Chain A
Amino acid sequence: MTSHVLDRVRDRAFAERIPLAVHFDLTYRCNERCVHCYLDHEDHGEMTTAEVKDVLDQLASSGTLFLTFSGGELLLRKDFFELLAYARQLQFDVKIKTNAILIKEADAVRIRDLGVRQVQISVYSHRPDVHDAITKVRGSLARTIAAIRFLSACGLKVTIANVLMRQNASDYHGVRALAKDLGAEYTLDPTITPKMNGDTSILALRMPEAQVLHLFKDAAVVGEGFCSLPTEADAETLDSAPCSAGHIACYITPYGDVYPCVQFPLPSGNLRQQRFDDVWHHSPQLNEVRSIRTRDLTTCPSCTYVSTCTRCPGLAYMEGNMRGPSSADCEKSMLRARAASPEGASE
Chain B
Amino acid sequence: MSVFVVRGEKLAARKVGGEMVILSAEDSSLFVLNEVGTIIWEAADGRTSIQAIADAVCVEYDVDPVSALTDVTEFVQALAAAGIVSTSEQAAR
Contact = CB atoms under 8 A, between A and B. Distances in A.
Interface of A: 1-2, 5-6, 8-9, 12-13, 15-16, 18, 20, 60, 63-65, 91-94, 115-117, 155, 157
B14 A60 contact: yes
Given A9-B16, A9-B32, A65-B16, A115 B21 contact: no
A65 B11 contact: no
B27 to A, nearest CB: 9
A13 B17 contact: yes
B12 A94 contact: yes
Interface class of chain B by DSSP: strand
A113 to B, nearest CB: 9
B13 to A, nearest CB: 4
A65 B32 CA distance: 13
Interface in B19-39: 19, 21, 23-26, 28-32
Given A1-B23, A12-B19, A117 B12 contact: yes
A63 B24 CA distance: 17
Given A9-B16, A18-B16, A91-B11, A65 B28 contact: no
A337 B32 CA distance: 38
B9 interface: yes
A116 B25 contact: yes
Interface residues of B, number: 20
B54 to A, nearest CB: 24
Given A1-B23, A65-B21, A115-B9, A91 B14 contact: yes
A117 B10 CA distance: 8
A2 B30 contact: yes
A9 B25 contact: no
A164 B26 CA distance: 30
Contacts of B21: 9, 65
Nearest to A15: B17
Given A1-B28, A117-B28, A91 B17 contact: no
A89 B24 CA distance: 14
The 6 A-B residue pairs whose C-beta atoms are closest, nearest first, are A93-B12, A115-B10, A65-B14, A117-B25, A12-B17, A91-B13
B14 A2 contact: no
Contact of B29 (A2, A16, A92): A2
Contacts of A92: 12, 14
Contacts of B12: 65, 91-94, 115, 117
A16 B14 CA distance: 14
Nearest to A3: B30
Contacts of A65: 12-14, 16, 21, 23
A157 B13 CA distance: 19
A50 B17 CA distance: 29
Among B15, B16, B32, residue most surrounded by chain A Cβ atoms (within 10 Å)? B16
19 contacts: A2-B30, A5-B30, A5-B31, A5-B32, A9-B21, A9-B32, A13-B16, A18-B17, A60-B14, A65-B16, A65-B23, A91-B11, A92-B12, A92-B14, A115-B11, A115-B12, A115-B25, A116-B25, A117-B23
Contact of A157 (B9, B28, B31): B28
